[in-house]
């Protein structure tokens, strides 16, 4: 029976880490260890974790105290260096995993060929309301069968590291996490794993990993959000171009399906940037044209057609006006008669 090393980075997580540990303790697969890598917490995270694990956790565990904040990727790499398992589970300290995750995926791992770098399963986003986990949106069902490695960076149905088990030897071979990245680091690592070996899907009717969102803070948005739209959007196009060795999609020989999905994601980030900063939008668009010199919005069809006549930016102005008009109408309808 393979040992699974669970690596959990923590930083000021005293309020929620106990629930995450509870979801791990509920695993039906018995053979795993937990490595908590604390990234310079200023609250009592380490004390909370230590009490929780010492009080009947029942599995091997250790806490690595990094001393000062170096970022989650540095903490994950520290955990990787301490890991003893053949397979690695990354578990963020506010997320949850289904009780059957290890059992389902480890059964596949026992049969996996040597070139399988990771196995992955469906995942979903969730909120924790009144101590109840509530799944939001649809379940993401990644499918890397026949896809180019760059697709690890694309779309809402991309492979999530937390929803995978990854071969430790392959993680070490690709050099672990890029500690310079503070967003897209999960997707960038998965891309390198897909170049180094195969990613295989393990089906499940329910999500095996629940990525927690927090109602009191927007994930991506303006200055008040956890991450800001401009650096997130611009870093995405940079990573996609790097993944394609700065070739166009045609030069990279991507399938029609892969090209379509990349263009859809490109249109999404272009539109988000257009709404917050025109200079950032133009910077993004100049880079996106390296993917396709004739790039146009992928959706909706009217805006895509219009862009071929008036240009990308002018077409986005029309799309933005239409969106604002819809929001205004919704507000007016919600207000009702005075």
| pLDDT tens sequence across 24-39 | 999 999 999 999 999 9
Domain stop point among 187, 212, 237: 212
Instruction: Let me know the angle formed at the C-alpha of 131 by 140 and 99, rounded to the nearest 5 degrees.
Output: 50
Q: What total of structural domains would you count in the chain?
A: 2
- Per the structure, the complete domain to which residue 294 belongs is given by 220-335
Residues 281, 263 within the same domain: yes
Residues 239, 206 within the same domain: no
Share of the chain above pLDDT 70, in %: 95
Residues 237, 274 within the same domain: yes
**Shortest CA distance to 95 belongs to which of 181, 16, 198?**
16
Residues 231, 179 within the same domain: no
Sort 113 into a burial class: Cβ within 10 Å, 0-12 / 13-18 / 19+.
exposed
DSSP state of 157: T
Residues 165, 225 within the same domain: no
Domain stop point among 182, 212, 242: 212
Cα distance between residue 295 and residue 318, in whole Å: 17
Residue of higher predicted confidence among 284 and 132: 284
Report pLDDT digits (tens) over 137-193. Answer: 999 999 999 999 999 999 999 999 999 999 999 999 999 999 999 899 999 999 999
Over residues 275-295, mean pLDDT = 96
pTM over 0.85: yes
DSSP state of 85: S
Residues 107, 203 within the same domain: yes
């Amino acid at each position: 029976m393979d040992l699974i090393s669970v690596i959990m980075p923590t930083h000021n997580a005293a309020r929620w880490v106990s629930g995450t540990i509870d979801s791990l303790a509920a695993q039906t697969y018995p053979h795993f260890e937990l490595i908590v890598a604390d990234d310079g917490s200023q609250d009592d995270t380490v004390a909370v974790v230590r009490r929780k694990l010492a009080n009947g956790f029942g599995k091997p565990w250790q806490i690595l105290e990094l001393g000062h904040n170096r970022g989650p990727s540095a903490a994950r790499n520290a955990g990787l260096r301490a890991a003893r398992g053949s397979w690695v589970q990354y578990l963020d300290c506010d997320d949850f995993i289904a009780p059957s995750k290890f059992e389902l995926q480890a059964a596949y791992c026992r049969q996996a060929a040597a070139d399988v770098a990771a196995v992955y399963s469906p995942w979903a986003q969730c909120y924790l309301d009144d101590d109840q986990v509530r799944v939001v949106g649809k379940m993401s069902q990644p499918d890397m069968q026949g896809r180019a490695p760059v697709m690890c960076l694309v779309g809402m149905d991309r492979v999530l590291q937390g929803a995978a088990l990854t071969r430790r030897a392959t993680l070490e071979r690709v050099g672990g996490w890029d500690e310079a990245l503070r967003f897209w680091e999960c997707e960038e690592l998965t891309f390198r794993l897909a170049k180094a070996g195969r990613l295989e899907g393990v089906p499940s009717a329910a999500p095996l990993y629940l990525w927690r969102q927090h109602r009191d803070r927007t994930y991506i948005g303006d200055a008040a959000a956890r991450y800001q739209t401009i650096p997130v959007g611009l870093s995405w196009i940079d990573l996609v171009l790097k993944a394609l060795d700065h070739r166009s999609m045609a030069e990279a020989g991507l399938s029609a399906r892969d090209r379509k999905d990349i263009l859809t994601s490109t249109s999404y980030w272009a539109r988000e940037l257009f709404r917050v900063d025109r200079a950032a939008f133009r910077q993004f668009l100049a880079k996106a044209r390296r993917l396709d010199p004739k790039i146009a919005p992928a959706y909706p069809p009217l805006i895509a057609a219009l862009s071929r006549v008036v240009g990308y930016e002018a077409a986005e102005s029309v799309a933005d006006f239409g969106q604002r008009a819809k929001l205004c109408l919704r507000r007016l309808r919600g207000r009702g008669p005075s």
